[in-house]
Amino acid sequence: AFLPQYYIGKETPKQILISETLKDKKLISLALETKIIDKPRSDKKHHLKVAILTAQENLNRHLASKFSKHSQLLKLQKTLN
């Protein structure tokens, strides 16, 4: 699971908001000594939506940058050959 791998050796926050239901939520929560919220309400739900949108935008930006660099390298390769 992502959460235990991500937080291993790091300080965990008091609460972790997630968008999916975890199979071993109680076990992971105990291991990380934190509260895992998988069905947030009100303001926490809004924060989760904003975090998801931000993550999607960052991924799109990263992929666009990677594609741009790749296409630039291909153009350079064609020019040099």
Is there a single domain that holds both residue 50 and residue 14? no
Evaluate whether 16 touches 35 at the Cβ level (below 8 Å): yes
Predicted TM-score (pTM) of this structure = 0.66
What confidence tens digit (pLDDT) does each residue in 19-32 have?
888 889 999 999 99
pLDDT at 1 over 90: no
> 24 and 52 in one domain?
no
Higher pLDDT pick, 36 / 2:
36
Residue 11 structural domain = 1-39
Q: What is the pLDDT of residue 27?
A: 94
User: Do both 26 and 45 map to the same domain?
Assistant: no
Nearest to 34 by CA among 12, 3, 11, 4: 12
Same domain? 45 vs 81: yes
Mean per-residue pLDDT, 58-70: 91
Are residues 1 and 20 both part of a single domain? yes
Q: Indicate if 57 and 27 belong to the same structural domain.
A: no
Give the Cβ contact number of residue 45 at 10 Å.
14
pLDDT for 25: 93
Are 55 and 69 members of one domain?
yes
- Same domain for 32 and 18, yes or no, is yes
Over the stretch 31-47, which tens digit does the pLDDT of each residue have? 999 999 998 888 899 99
